[in-house]
């Protein structure tokens, strides 16, 4: 049996906007708004209005997740649900009651809450009025919202996270048009990335002013996609170096080390696209680093030297420094278009050990979603052996990293119950529990029964 350390946290992750539905929300977030103006942009026209109905079903949902071995649950508090007045951070009492009830129910069911504060769900009013995180004023409003969450729920929640996958906010909203506001503006993307790091540091400062006994921890959730070069040719190596700087280190380094990589700063500065910053802001980032790190991992990145020189006359985009590379013979999740390469999780573990002070970290998302999952239903149960294999293969590599001394304390599968997934809606399903979105009847999959044994045994048989 592969056994994990004592008190290893077995869990699952979801988010407010992907699970709750829009019930009783006073404000829209950017996805609520986008769906309201262009429902055809979403797979099968399915939007976030119902999602997996967690707002109404949270009591039974939590019991079902606990039955599937989920002892720790990461979800998020929706800024657009909790706050009535964004400038003053006044709260909606119905939302306060809802999140209090959810947290209390988690604890009653033996589930430890891990709470994230921003999961791609910028309130549309702030996006329209200020450009969302294009504005440094919004970083102050975000810090007010975060502090209100700490005040309301910090007596029971001891694991907090400022952002989920900030790089996806950049990629989707400012580079490749798969999140609202659907802009393509490389230099603006650089500034938004900086402003998100600044917002995170401002929230962390509020957190440590409020909690001083070390019992509560605050971190950030980063999707790490280490870039492997197509060859050891110096141009391929240079392409991979930049891809790692941009995709991982631009958020990883300020979050843990308190400063940006010098090579990234030089490249952006030489290109004339470096973010606007002040010495005071950089000092704030330096002195407000995270206590623990969440790592979302699904697939590696493979790159090669660009076919067109970045010195060419062209609009600045980060991908002018590299081209994607498809490794022959790679194993794929064909439905999603992602390579499956579990060894990357070991490489991440060693990188954190060697280059980031061996900070306390956990796998905050890992999972496999496929399309048309109903084809695997037999006797009313999804026979998702592919998901069990995916998790096992990644856990083997994670275990090797832990054995090598990396300070990983948990593994959270994405996700507990099938959830709404942005433009993709329910095209790819990731849950340990199936959600029939037409009836909201939820049933544990084969993987959920297996995950219960994994969680209870703190390991699995080879």
Coil, strand or helix at 416: coil
Q: Which member of 165, 281, 301, 397 is catalytic?
A: 165
Closest by alpha carbon to 163, among 204, 210, 211, 206?
204
Report the distance separating Cα 386 and Cα 369, nearest Å: 10
Give the torsion sign (CA, 341, 343, 345, 351): negative
Phi first, then psi, for residue 394 (nearest 5°) are -75, -35
Report the distance separating Cα 398 and Cα 411, nearest Å: 9
Closest by alpha carbon to 458, among 9, 12, 68, 112?
9
Max Cα–Cα distance, the chain, nearest Å: 63
Closest by alpha carbon to 31, among 161, 148, 172?
172
Closest by alpha carbon to 220, among 285, 304, 155?
285
Q: For residue 351, how many C-alpha atoms fall within 13 Å in the half-sphere facing its CB?
A: 18
Q: Are strands 441-444 and 433-436 parallel, antiparallel or unpaired?
A: antiparallel
How far CA 410 is from CA of 7, 283, 294, 387, in Å, comes to: 9, 31, 9, 18
Q: How many CB atoms lie within 10 A of CB 160?
A: 28
How far CA 307 is from CA of 172, 244, 316, 318, 320, in Å, comes to: 24, 19, 16, 14, 9
Please enumerate in sequence order all residues whose Cβ is within 8 A of that of 277, keeping only pairs 6 or more positions apart, or say none: 194
Report the distance separating Cα 224 and Cα 422, nearest Å: 20
Q: Is 365 annotated in the active site?
A: yes
Q: Is 165 annotated in the active site?
A: yes
DSSP state letter for 417? B
Report the distance separating Cα 171 and Cα 217, nearest Å: 28
Please enumerate in sequence order all residues whose Cβ is within 8 A of that of 129, keeping only pairs 6 or more positions apart, or say none: none
Q: Which member of 281, 365, 373, 397 is catalytic?
A: 365
Q: What's the token pair of residue 444?
A: 């544990």
Which residue stretches of 211-322 are H helix? Answer: 234-244, 250-256, 262-270, 279-287
Active site residues: 165, 365
């Amino acid at each position: 049996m592969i056994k994990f350390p004592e008190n290893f946290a077995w869990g699952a992750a979801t988010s407010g906007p992907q699970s709750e539905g829009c019930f009783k929300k006073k404000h829209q977030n950017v996805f609520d708004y986008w769906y309201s103006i262009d429902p055809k942009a979403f797979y099968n026209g399915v939007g976030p209005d119902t999602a997996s109905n967690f707002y109404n079903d949270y009591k039974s949902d939590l019991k079902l997740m606990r039955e599937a071995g989920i002892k720790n649950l990461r979800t998020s508090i929706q800024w657009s649900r909790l706050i009535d007045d964004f400038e003053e951070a006044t709260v909606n009492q119905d939302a306060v009651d809802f999140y209090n009830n959810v947290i209390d129910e988690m604890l009653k069911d033996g589930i430890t809450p891990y709470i994230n504060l921003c999961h791609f769900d910028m309130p549309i009013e702030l996006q329209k009025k200020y450009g969302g995180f294009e504005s440094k004023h919004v970083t102050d409003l975000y810090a007010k919202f975060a502090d209100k969450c700490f005040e309301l729920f910090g007596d029971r929640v001891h694991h907090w996270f400022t952002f989920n996958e900030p790089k996806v906010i950049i990629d989707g909203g400012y580079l490749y048009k798969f999140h609202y506001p659907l802009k393509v503006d490389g230099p603006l993307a650089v500034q938004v990335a900086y402003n998100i790091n600044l917002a995170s540091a401002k929230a962390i400062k509020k957190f440590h002013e409020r909690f001083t006994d070390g019992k509560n921890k605050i971190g950030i959730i980063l999707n790490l996609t280490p870039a492997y070069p197509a060859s050891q040719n110096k141009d391929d190596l240079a392409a991979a170096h930049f891809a790692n700087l941009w995709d991982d280190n631009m958020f990883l380094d300020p979050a843990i080390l308190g400063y940006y990589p010098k090579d990234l700063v030089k490249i952006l500065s030489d290109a004339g696209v470096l973010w606007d910053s002040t010495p005071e802001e950089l000092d704030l980032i330096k002195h407000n680093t995270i206590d623990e790190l969440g790592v979302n991992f699904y697939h590696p990145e493979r790159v090669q030297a660009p076919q067109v020189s970045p010195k060419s006359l062209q609009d600045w985009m980060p991908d002018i420094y590299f081209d994607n590379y498809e490794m022959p013979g790679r194993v794929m999740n064909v439905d999603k278009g992602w390579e499956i390469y579990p060894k990357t999780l070991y490489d991440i573990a060693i990188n954190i050990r060697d280059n980031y002070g061996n900070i306390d970290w956990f796998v905050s998302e890992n999972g496999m979603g496929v399309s048309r999952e109903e084809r695997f239903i037999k006797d009313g149960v999804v026979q998702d052996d592919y998901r069990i294999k995916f998790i096992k293969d990644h856990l083997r590599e994670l275990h090797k990293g832990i054995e090598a001394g990396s300070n990983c304390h948990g593994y959270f599968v994405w996700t507990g119950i099938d959830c709404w997934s942005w433009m993709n809606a329910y095209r790819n399903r990731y849950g340990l529990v199936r959600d029939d979105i037409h009836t909201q009847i939820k049933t544990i999959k084969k993987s959920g029964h297996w995950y219960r044994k994994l969680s209870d045994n703190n390991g699995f048989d080879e």
